[in-house]
Structure 1
Amino acid sequence: MTITTQALSKIQYTIEQFLEKISSSQSYQALQNMTPTKRWTTLGLYFLASQLIIFGLLYTLFGKVIVVGFFASIIAGLATGIGALPALFFKDISKNLFNSLLGAAAGVMLAATAFSLLVPGISYGNIIWPSHGIYIVAVGMLIGAGFLHFADRQLPHVHFDALADEQLTSLKKVWLFIIAITIHNFPEGLSVGVSFGAGDLNNGLVLAIAIALQNIPEGLAVALPLVGLGYNKWKAVGIATLTGLVEPIGGLLGVTMVSLFQSILPLAMGFAAGAMLFVISEEIIPETHANGRSRYATFALLGGFIIMMILDNMLG
């Protein structure tokens, strides 16, 4: 059963009501009345204070690895907002350029999946279950891919390449795309957390960088359609950033689970790898090869894969 238009409208209405409630609050109005310098300084101090509290609690309860893993998933999620920034200056970009960005993202994710999830996952699996590690990881991959397959079945299919997609001509379909991207971001954050939860900070760092790089074109794909439909540019960038902030939730869940229950580590790594491979194969690569525009994306994919392979070798 797919999400109906009525359900989608309800989700969109709830989000917009939440944003409207924030903008009409006294605290928001007080911020708006400040000078830009004072406003951003105040917001920065509030953010810093909240993070000190969160990270302090995590460090006290779980130790350094949890804190680093959670922080890395936040940075990876914020990369979505960085990718959305060009929407402040442009309403569209070259299809070949965007295709190349998506191709590079696919290459980065493929390399990260292979070198930072599957290979160490099998190694950990063989330690916990001698000679059976590869089978445990394979089961996890099937579960991860099945999870996203089920999630996609709940949403009518909307192409990843939103910039060139004629389907995204209505606000409801743009919000549908945003919801789909948000769902896909959860296992990406989970993969970062799982990788750090294994206790290998270098391996976790490589994966966090890979996810951050992949999130850049994703943020652009969310923001530009909103700008094209008349949304305020900063609001469009803010919404794009929010789609990436589901990743710290997945990251915290992943790093906490595998830190507390080491025996599920190979299964969790397989799950994250399967989910990422599903997104690459189902969403990213088909879009970069549509309408005879594959050559740029193919070489960009190779470039992204090579860069991450070199980075993994340097940090490993």
Structure 2
Amino acid sequence: MHSPPLRQPPANWRTWLSRRRGRVLAGAAIALAGLLLLLRDGALLLADLPPPARMALVGGCWAAAATAAGTLPILLSHNFSQRSYDAALGLGGGIMLAATSFSLVLPALAASRAGGAGAIDASLTVGGGILLGMALVMLLGHLVQSDRVLQDANARAPQAMTRAWLFVAAVAIHNLPEGVAIGVGYGGVDAAKAHTLATGIAIQDIPEGLVVALALRAVGYGRAFSALLGAVSGLVEPLGAVAGALLIEASTAFLPWGLAGAAGAMLYVICHDVVPEAQRHGHCNTAAGSLVVGFIVMMVLDTALS
């Protein structure tokens, strides 16, 4: 006996929402009430934060806003060339690479030496922190397999929306080290260096937001929905920034490890995600040239203007 065929999915997610308008409105009302409570609690918490954590929160919010800004081309343009997409990825990768070198690894070595470590001990400490940061992101990455959750886009709408949120969760895991790096910078590095690091990460987040929105758009999600989830993927950065700043505020002994851990996490993301994705469609020269340009831009920001 054959099982009955599944009901055909709606043409798009707007149709699916319109058929469940009552449930959607009730859920929206509950979500709005929860958001208002979170905003109230957040305002109370913000008043109690130490100054470095407050500055880190602002830097993290700028990074999240840059991620949201990166999704705007999805709303404004019907076509976005693959070469431009790969160039934007390469540019972001270069910025992250320079930020890792000049804003994280070198300050981590200096902080370790300032804490009394010798040259060899400082190098080993920073190397260990880099490995720990890489291992943490690898562990978190196993929680959500982002390369699988966008497959089979023709499944029923509720399942497709679930996969979309899983994809955003996977991207948010990769954004977390950037937020932590901002927070660690404000917690222990001088303010000028921290501002430069936050600026570089925010610049890098613009193409990153575009990447998320384009990936969702490519498998059939609506323009507005893709842009919305692309913006949501950056909201983890303010949380990571505050956590990083509070960690360093608790003890300056964590500073070399925090800086090195953020560097290791970002290095892993560059090697595992950014560079392979930028070169996957054959535009290797474009991606590599953009990466070098991004590296130079961040190097100038970090060494000449700070």
> Normalized against structure 1, the TM-score is what?
0.77
Could you tell me which runs of 5 or more consecutive residues in structure 2 were left unpaired when the two chains were aligned: 1-15, 155-159
Distance in 1, matches of 2:66 and 2:23, equals: 24
User: Residues 22 and 184 (structure 1 numbering): CA distance in 2 closer, same or farther, change over 3 Å?
Assistant: farther
Q: Distance in 2 between matches of 1:168 and 1:66?
A: 42
Instruction: Tell me the residue number matched to 1:243.
Output: 233
Deviates more, 1:289-298 or 1:269-278: 289-298
> 1:70 matched to which residue of 2?
57
Please name the residue that 1:156 is paired with.
Answer: 145
Instruction: Tell me the distance in 2 between the aligned counterparts of 1:140 and 1:297.
Output: 29
Q: Show the counterpart of 2:103.
A: 116
Aligned residue number for residue 25 of structure 2: 24
Give, in whole Å, the separation in 2 of the partners of 1:21 and 1:117: 50
Query: Does residue 301 of the first structure (1) align with residue 278 of the second (2)?
Result: no
Secondary structure of the structure 2 residue equivalent to 1:292: coil
1:192 aligns with 2:193: no
Query: What residue identity is the alignment partner of 2:93?
Result: A
Point out the more displaced range, 100-109 or 239-248: 239-248
Q: Which residue of 2 aligns with 1:97?
A: 84
Alpha carbons of structure 1 residues 268 and 169: separation in structure 2 relative to 1, 3 Å? same
1:99 & 1:190 partners in 2: Cα distance?
A: 26
Percentage identity across paired residues of the two chains:
32
Q: Measure, in 1, the Cα distance between the counterparts of 2:242 and 2:116.
A: 26
CA positional deviation for 1:62:
4.1
CA distance in 2, matches of 1:293, 1:27: 43
Q: Deviations over 1:244-296 (max 9, x none)?
A: 00111111100011012110110011110000000000111112222431001
In the TM superposition, residue 21 of structure 1 has moved relative to its aligned partner by 9.1
The verdict on how the C-alpha distance between 1:82 and 1:67 changes in structure 2, with shifts beyond 3 A counting, is same
Alignment gaps of 5+ in structure 1: 1-15, 32-42
**Structure 1 residues 97 and 24, CA gap change in structure 2 (3 angstroms):** same
Aligned to 2:270: 280
Tell whether the 8 Å contact from 1:174 to 1:225 is kept in structure 2 after alignment.
Answer: no
Q: Work out which of the residue numbers 147, 154, 161 in structure 1 matches 2:136.
A: 147
Shift in Å, 1:61:
3.3
TM-score, with structure 2 as normaliser:
0.80
Give the counterpart letter for 1:79 in structure 2.
A
**TM-fit CA distance, 1:68:** 1.1
Question: 1:159-308 maps to which residues of 2 (within 5 A)?
Answer: 167=151, 169=153, 171=160, 174-228=164-218, 231-308=221-298
8 Å CA contact retained: 1:203, 1:315: no
Distance in 2 between the 1:54 and 1:315 partners? Answer: 34
Task: Identify the residue that residue 313 of structure 1 maps to in structure 2.
Answer: 303
- Matched position secondary structure for 1:253: helix
Over the aligned positions, Cα root-mean-square deviation in angstroms equals 3.2
- Structure 1 CA distance for aligned equivalents of residues 125 and 22 of structure 2: 47
8 Å CA contact 2:212, 2:230 repeated in 1: yes
Instruction: Give the direction of change, closer, same or farther, for the CA distance of 1:221–1:129 in structure 2 (3 Å limit).
Output: same
Amino acid at match of 2:290: A
The one-letter code matched in structure 2 to 1:84 is: T
Rg larger in 1 or in 2? 2
Alpha-carbon shift at residue 301 of structure 1 (Å): 0.7
Looking at structure 2, the residues matched to 95 and 238 of structure 1 have their Cα atoms a distance apart, in angstroms, of 21
- Assess if the C-alpha contact under 8 Å between 2:168 and 2:232 holds in 1: no
Partner Cα distance (2:25, 2:164) in 1: 25
- Work out the CA distance in 1 between the residues paired with 2:42 and 2:169: 27
The correspondence for 2:72, drawn from 70, 73, 85, is 85
Q: Residue 147 of structure 2 aligns to a residue in which SS?
A: coil
What SS does the aligned partner of 2:117 have?
coil
Kept in 2: contact 1:112–1:207 (CA 8 A): yes
**Which stretch shows the higher mean deviation, 95-104 or 220-229?**
220-229
Please name the residue that 1:8 is paired with. Answer: none
Amino acid at match of 1:139: G
Q: Is the 8 A contact 2:185 2:197 kept in 1?
A: yes
Query: Structure 2 matches for 1:39-50, cutoff 5 A?
Result: 50=39
CA 1:168 to 1:69, structure 2 compared with 1: closer, same or farther past 3 Å? Answer: farther
Q: Does the Cα contact within 8 Å between 1:92 and 1:224 map onto a contact in 2?
A: no
Change (3 A) 1:91 1:182: farther
| Structure 1 stretch displaced more, 97-106 or 123-132 | 123-132
